[in-house]
């Protein structure tokens, strides 16, 4: 497989990385919490299981709203990339469950560990990033070359 250089977009990739870094820095400076999607989205569930109030704080709601509104904001400057799914519904459900279980076992997700944890030099995040990147690479090798 070769890289499709005509599809390589260094400036939009750089802008996206800068925006993610800035948003993560502002979130931790303003809220004192890491901007991990799994933790932000799962917090109402944790409150329910621990008998706490289910009223989400304003910051969490704004963060989730930003995630949901981002595709519409992107469409103002460029068309959305075409979505392509090469597997069936069953495989998507299994993949989603495995990602959920993995983020629960690792006490966080790629955004929490990969973006925020590594930038804080967290050894736990480094171990998690190495584990999920390794598992992803092994999965690709297994699915493309062994099965």
34 falls within a domain: yes
pTM of the model: 0.69
87-128 residue pLDDT tens: 899 999 998 898 888 888 888 888 889 888 888 899 999 999
47-98 residue pLDDT tens: 555 555 555 667 777 888 888 898 999 899 888 888 888 889 999 999 889 8
109 falls within a domain: yes
74 falls within a domain: yes
Question: 106 — phi, psi (to 5°)?
Answer: -85, 0
39 falls within a domain: yes
78 falls within a domain: yes
Query: Range of 39's domain?
Result: 10-146
Q: Are 40 and 64 in contact, with CB atoms under 8 Å apart?
A: yes
1 falls within a domain: no
3 falls within a domain: no
Count of domains for the chain: 1
Neighbouring residues of 12: CB distance < 8 A, sequence distance ≥ 6: 78
5 falls within a domain: no
């Amino acid at each position: 497989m070769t890289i499709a250089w005509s599809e390589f977009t260094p400036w939009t990739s750089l802008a996206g990385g800068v925006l993610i870094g800035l948003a993560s820095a502002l979130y931790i400076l303003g809220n004192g919490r890491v901007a991990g999607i799994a933790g932000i989205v799962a917090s109402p569930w944790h409150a329910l299981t621990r008998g706490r109030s289910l009223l989400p704080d304003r910051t969490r709601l704004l963060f989730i709203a930003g995630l949901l509104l981002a595709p519409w904001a992107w469409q103002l400057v460029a068309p959305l990339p075409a979505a392509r799914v090469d597997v069936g519904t069953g495989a998507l459900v299994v993949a989603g469950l495995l990602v959920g279980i993995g983020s629960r076992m690792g006490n966080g997700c790629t955004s929490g560990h990969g973006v925020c944890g590594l930038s804080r030099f967290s050894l736990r995040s480094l171990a998690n990033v190495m584990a999920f990147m390794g598992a992803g690479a092994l999965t690709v090798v297994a699915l493309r070359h062994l099965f």
